[in-house]
Amino acid sequence: MSDNKDSRFTESLLTFLAGAATGFILGILFAPASGKETRRKLKQQIEKGQELAREGYEKLAREAEKGARVAKEKAEEGIEAIKEFLEKKKGEYVRKEPEFPEDLDTEK
């Protein structure tokens, strides 16, 4: 469930960032101002968009790192459980007496 929630969050964040960047650029391009003023505003908005993208990336990286850490811990727990199970089965197998036919000479 957590993975689904994280992926929805990631998709929402990326969609928001893409929409914000598109809105900034379109708003500035169609604004009635001189070319110099438009370029200055466009540069400012691009810098703001880059800042938003960097912040979003950093947040996603932290979340991914946390998710990887949790996955590693769960994998280690699973490996430990498998080792314990195998040791238990190994002990049970060693304790069993082998089953041999009563007369080994008849098999030759």
- Rg over CA atoms, the chain: 32
Tell me which of 68 and 19 has the higher pLDDT. 68
Where are the chain's structural domains? 2-92
Please give the Cα distance from 5 to 74 (Å, whole number). Answer: 18
User: What is the model's pLDDT at position 75?
Assistant: 93
What is the Cα–Cα distance from 97 to 48, expressed in whole angstroms? Answer: 76
pLDDT in tens, 22-53: 877 777 677 666 678 778 888 898 898 888 88
